[in-house]
Amino acid sequence: RKEINVALLGNPNSGKTSLFNCLAGAHQKVGNFSGVTVEKYEGFVKYKDYKINLIDLPGTYSLTAYSPEEVVARNYIIEEQPDVVIDVIDGTNLERNLYLTTQIMELEVDALYAINMIDEVEKQGIEIDIPQIQKLLGSHVVATSASKHIGMDLLLDHVIRVYEGDINVSKNKLIYSLRIEEQLEKLKNLLQSDSWLSSRYNLHWLAVKLLENDQLVYETVKQRSIWIRVERIINETIDIFEKSIHRDPDVVITEDRHAFIRGAIRETVQMPNKVKKNLT
């Protein structure tokens, strides 16, 4: 059997553990992530010709360096490089849940999006255009209900498709404001000249994190000889934004993510028609 390593990531209460239990059943064990007292649940499921290993990562709203859960989750993805990251999304709270999704997109990993709680979504009369949201997120999207065991085989089929490179979906990118994109390009070109960094990190993600003032990424890049030049670009960026719109680059990055989410929701989600509801 071929083995596929899969990590489940998502907001707290999006249904990760339910999904994990649903898929792994009795095949699970609990440990800790190295160095921290965050519980690590591992399990597996044998499906078709594959053994699919699953890790239930701690719930997070973001992937910043501010909380141990977020650091554990992002370090796991960056260092352990799971074959597929399943982003478990609470379909009844798309706007909030998609913030983490934008950061998974930035990591440029092979992701699969499970829009969970689909039973509740339907009950509330919310309509989600799955093919369209798939286009916007740039990878497979599967509607699931972990508590009602809906979409589980479909989800595993898509894990296999993502793993086998059958992406069949245009890999979409979250595009930032022009000035941010220009500075990211400069940073990426510079970071690329450091082979140690480029072999370990996705440079797009690293560049975004530098403009976001991410302290852990700073600590890493500060050790490198290119740091002086990196710092110059960061300061230049802060200057550009201070002079033009009096805002810090990290604020603009956050706003751009929210703008992307609002646009995606506008295009793909139909909230229940309250008027119609009242008439019936």
Q: Does 237 bind ligand GDP (CB under 6 A)?
A: no
In this structure, are residues 176 and 182 in contact, taking their beta carbons and an 8 Å threshold? no
Nearest-CB residue for ligand GDP: 15
Q: Does 13 bind ligand GDP (CB under 6 A)?
A: yes
Work out how close the CB of 12 gets to ligand GDP at its nearest, in angstroms, rounded to a whole number.
Answer: 5
Work out how close the CB of 46 gets to ligand GDP at its nearest, in angstroms, rounded to a whole number.
Answer: 22
- Tell me the C-alpha to C-alpha distance, in Å, between residue 201 and each of 24, 29, 82, 109, 142: 30, 29, 14, 11, 28
Q: Does 16 bind ligand GDP (CB under 6 A)?
A: yes
Per CB under 6 A, which of residues 129..188 are in contact with ligand GDP? 145-147
Per CB under 5 A, which of residues 120..179 are in contact with Mg ion? none
In this structure, are residues 250 and 211 in contact, taking their beta carbons and an 8 Å threshold? yes
Pairing type for strands 28-32 and 39-47 reads antiparallel
Q: Based on CB atoms, which residue is closest to K ion, 135 or 148?
A: 148
Per CB under 5 A, which of residues 5..64 are in contact with Mg ion? 16-17
Nearest-CB residue for Mg ion: 17
Nearest-CB residue for K ion: 13
Binds 138, which of Mg ion, ligand GDP, K ion, none (CB < 5 to 8 A, cut-off by type)? none
Among 5, 17, 172, 213, binds ligand GDP (CB under 6 A): 17
Per CB under 6 A, which of residues 41..80 are in contact with ligand GDP? 59
Among 7, 15, 98, 133, binds ligand GDP (CB under 6 A): 15
Binds 237, which of Mg ion, K ion, ligand GDP, none (CB < 5 to 8 A, cut-off by type)? none
Residue numbers of the site for Mg ion (CB under 5 A)? 16-17
